[in-house]
Structure 1
Amino acid sequence: MKRRDFVIKSILAGSVVSNPIIAYHKQDPFFEIGLAQWSLNKSLKSGKIDNLDFARIAREKFDIGIVEYVNQFFINKAKDKKYLSEMLNISNDNGIVNNLIMIDSEGNLGDTNNRRRNKAINNHKKWIEAAKFLGCSHIRVNAAGDGSEQEVSKNASESLAALGEFSFDYDINVIVENHGGYSSNAKWLVEVIKNAGLKNVGTLPDFGNFCIRSTPKDLSDWGATTSGCAEEYDRYLGVEELLPYALSVSAKSNDFDSDGNCIETDFSRMVNIIKNSDYRGYISIEYEGSNYSEEEGIRLTKSLLEREAI
């Protein structure tokens, strides 16, 4: 077997080889590794696994004790205390820290239509309450909206301030991810956060979501680059600019070379940027690729983070 094939197969098998590339570090890492539920989105959407399986899978399959939920996978359960209690019991039974809930499909917080924007603000409130019930520290929201950069920025800041004020009583942070459109411009997003003006409103830097638009006339792109990216923000600069406001970090991965390195992002460079900042929170795996299975992609990303964690 070629050495390069041996390296990646050893990672997927969960073994350690005498190679500094993947050798286990004996020192304590400067961050803890979490798992974003979106890494298993295909299995969840197909019904292969259920939302209630997630915390157990994180612990049993990957030995990960920090998780990030996605509201899409329990979209009608935000006020269902019986269901939320079951989620909480499962996470407690598996020694899991529930870090956050990612919120989608509840309206645009940067909407230029005040009626729709106010509805979006109110739609997010039930998830703040659910996050508190589950013992989470944050909800992740999107600063999306139609309109000019200035219009969407102003409206997003006002919405975030309103949600931040509401979430104070629940001890929940409201954090915004670079997630396509204007929000993938880190300088724009930093201004949105600054103008919200609250300590519990921050960012969730994602290693990969820096595609501002996939075609010249499309500003609704969510970071996908299947058709190419017409305008992309420098991911390393973007993460560096978002880190002073970061309350969680997402380690996006899509594909790997035969040595187990992420092809689209230099993890060594990215983790070094984080290490040189003041951020010392969780870094969560978010695998979105198709060349490896979800389980393989999660394991490869975890190995990369462990390698760079010292």
Structure 2
Amino acid sequence: MTQSSSRRDFLKQTTAFSAGLALSGWAGSAFATTSLNNPLFEISLAEWSLHRALKGGKLDNLDFAKVTKEEFGINAVEYVNQFFKDKARDKKYLAEMNQRAADVGVKNLLIMIDGEGALGDPDPKKRTQAIKNHHQWVEAAKTLGCHSIRVNARSNGSYKEQQKLAADGLRRLTNFAAKYGINVLVENHGGLSSNGAWLAGVMKMVNLPGCGTLPDFGNFVLDRKTGEEYDRYKGVKELMPYAKAVSAKTHEFDKDGNEIKTDYVKMMKIVLDAGYHGYVGIEYEGKKLDEYAGIKASKKLLLKVREELTPEEAVAPQAVECCEPGRRRIFRRRRLFRR
């Protein structure tokens, strides 16, 4: 056999193996992601991580993308509306945000929306007004090239009443956002929304592809007065089937760089086991480290966890040569990783 014919046969086998991966559903698995030399997940930065600098006038919203890239080496951002609250319809300002992000090679992912009313308000007029208040942010997200806005599912009433009310507001807002190709994501953010089962139930009621969740690793406080918390691992597991973004909340770190309240290896296994390989957004809220140091510590932790969870067997497809023994071997390795 000539060298050229061997190369052709090799390429055919590689192509066939790759096609087999796609048909077998491996395209969304952790192995398929790493076998293509892509990381298990990407890292982004939530603007709230710098809220003290922003509120204190030490940082301007327009410089957020630049600081994200130059200070932290992160290429994607998640904005918070309160840092440009009066600019939702300011086309010139939004264009400047776009330009500054583009200048440093940063991708705009989403806008976190607060202070625009309760989407599950029991008063029909107030609920409708809250929905309308969010419209401008859907349009702003579209202008910025984001894929989503993050909202809250705040309401009042009994468990089931609040589910129905929140689902109504979210369904109507999601239908509006669909016209712009924007998703509406709900974060566990206090009250019943911090109950994973409750919020998952809301998602089932809405039942629209454009409505999903943004699980936050730390926002599972059910009652701030008593300190009662929902199990964060159970909650994230319940919300991940609907997740289109993930918030890696950090507060304090031990001497080894691990987050003291959240087992990040355990948590990220839950995220990856759900088939999620998108952006994981750093949201640092600690006080012992300053914001810049806290963000860097958070990134270091995520990189360490990503490396630990990446299987050593994540090699190029040609290593298995499309043979049955090799494929069986990879299936065994993948099961070990997913366990």
State whether TM-score is above 0.5: yes
Tell me, yes or no, if structure 1 residue 56 matches structure 2 residue 66.
yes
Q: Which amino acid aligns with 1:266?
A: D
TM-score after normalising by structure 1: 0.86
Q: Which amino acid aligns with 1:193?
A: M
Tell me, yes or no, if structure 1 residue 235 matches structure 2 residue 232.
yes
CA distance in 1, matches of 2:272, 2:104: 29
CA distance in 2, matches of 1:240, 1:149: 20
TM-superposed CA distance for 1:28, in Å, is 4.2
CA distance in 2, matches of 1:131, 1:258: 39
Tell me, yes or no, if structure 1 residue 192 matches structure 2 residue 202.
yes
How many residue pairs match? The answer is 271
Q: Which runs of 5+ in 1 are unaligned?
A: 1-26, 217-228
Tell me, yes or no, if structure 1 residue 41 matches structure 2 residue 51.
yes
CA distance in 2, matches of 1:263, 1:277: 24
Equivalent in the alignment of 2:21: none
CA distance in 1, matches of 2:296, 2:269: 21
Equivalent in 283, 299, 307 of residue 280 of structure 2: 283
Tell me, yes or no, if structure 1 residue 266 matches structure 2 residue 263.
yes
TM-superposed CA distance for 1:215, in Å, is 2.2
Equivalent in the alignment of 2:323: none
CA distance in 2, matches of 1:127, 1:194: 24
Equivalent in 89, 106, 121 of residue 111 of structure 1: 121
Equivalent in the alignment of 1:73: 83
What secondary structure sits across from 1:34 in the alignment? strand
CA distance in 2, matches of 1:193, 1:123: 21
Q: Structure 1 residues 129-138 or 276-285, which shifts more?
A: 276-285
Equivalent in the alignment of 1:102: 112
Tell me, yes or no, if structure 1 residue 123 matches structure 2 residue 133.
yes
What secondary structure sits across from 2:86 in the alignment? coil
For residues 258-300 of structure 1, the C-alpha deviation after alignment (integer angstroms, 9 at most, x for no partner) is 1111001111111111121211211000000000000111001
What secondary structure sits across from 1:67 in the alignment? strand
TM-score after normalising by structure 2: 0.79
For residues 114-170 of structure 1, the C-alpha deviation after alignment (integer angstroms, 9 at most, x for no partner) is 111111000001000000000000000000022222222111101111011111111
CA distance in 2, matches of 1:284, 1:166: 26
Tell me, yes or no, if structure 1 residue 151 matches structure 2 residue 161.
yes
CA distance in 1, matches of 2:272, 2:151: 25
TM-superposed CA distance for 1:29, in Å, is 2.1
Equivalent in the alignment of 1:162: 172
Matches within 5 A, 1:214-233: 214-215=224-225, 229=227, 231-233=228-230
Q: Which amino acid aligns with 2:179?
A: D
Tell me, yes or no, if structure 1 residue 297 matches structure 2 residue 270.
no
What secondary structure sits across from 2:184 in the alignment? strand
CA distance in 1, matches of 2:260, 2:38: 27
Tell me, yes or no, if structure 1 residue 245 matches structure 2 residue 255.
no
CA distance in 1, matches of 2:90, 2:159: 37
CA distance in 1, matches of 2:157, 2:116: 18
CA distance in 2, matches of 1:184, 1:190: 10
Considering fraction of residues, name the structure with more helix.
2
CA distance in 1, matches of 2:160, 2:120: 10
